[in-house]
Amino acid sequence: MVIDIMRVIKRKIGRNSYNYLQHSFRDKGRVKTAEIYLGKAIPEDIDIIKKEFSDRIIKETLSESLDVVRVGFKKEWLHYPESVREKIKEQLAEVFTYNTNAIEGSTITLEETREIIEHNIAPNKPLRDIKETEAHAAEFLRMLEKKEKPDISLILRWHNRLFGDTKKDIAGMFREHLIRVGDYVAPDWQDVKKLMGNLIDFYNQNKRKMGAVELAARMHYKFEKIHPFGDGNGRVGRLMMNYILWHDGYPMLIIEYKKRKAYYHALKKDEDYFFHYFVRRFLRAHKKYL
């Protein structure tokens, strides 16, 4: 969606004049107009009102597009025979596992990931990378099949299963030390349990009020800012966001290794910036349904 015009217009009714904020924008090739009443005088906080109005229009328009993607995906998925669905899940496991691990420094290529998952053939690469590839693919497929209550214990289980063989000293445990990611210093480790509790509260309070795509984006952003583990936060966070999408009937979003710079850039910004980045990425990834 491209915004065209936002302006204040004045209408006279009898001897009185009334102000309206009018927003004209282009959506799917059509020009649409929406407006809200401001009053007889233009409010002093007009800039704030403009931003809130624009954000509301964007969110409503995006919601329509996201609903179309969801309906199209579910229709396509139900059309596949069960054997084809299983094959697609395996392919998703391969692509998602390769990209999410590569972002975190794994040396395993996409083709090697396929060989490990499909044929149990290990390349001449570090054993840690091989084990984490196997563990991630297995946990990803388990996540697709089993809908569990999203809570702290589930997040700890994910981490333990992903890193139980390679990071035994931290697997399945929240960090108890300071952690820095580039210029970002994560919250004090003593606050992690409370912050994770707040994160789960946020999920429970919004799982029926907020669309799944927005919820997945905001949960991922909040989780990465908490950075609750000594290592593996990105992989657990991306698993969590796709858990939310998949179990609400949406296709998943794979953050590609080759596009990781835009992803990192968005994570450095505020939550609303990351949400809009996430939705744009999601809609581009699934534009065939639009």
Active-site amino acid positions = 227
Rounded distance between C-alpha atoms, residue 155 and residue 135, angstroms: 15
Identify which of 93, 94, 97 has the alpha carbon closest to the alpha carbon of residue 106.
97
Rounded distance between C-alpha atoms, residue 20 and residue 31, angstroms: 19
3-state SS string over 84-150? HHHHHHHHHHHHHHHHHHHHCCCCCCHHHHHHHHHHCCCCCCCHHHHHHHHHHHHHHHHHHHCCCCC
Q: Do residues 184 and 268 make contact, with C-beta atoms less than 8 angstroms apart? A: yes
Q: How many residues does the chain have?
A: 290
Distance between the two ends of the chain, CA-based, in angstroms? 13
Tell me the residue type at 95.
Answer: V
191: left (phi over 0), alpha (psi -120 to 50) or beta: alpha
Tell me the residue type at 8.
Answer: V
Token readout for 79 is 């059309």
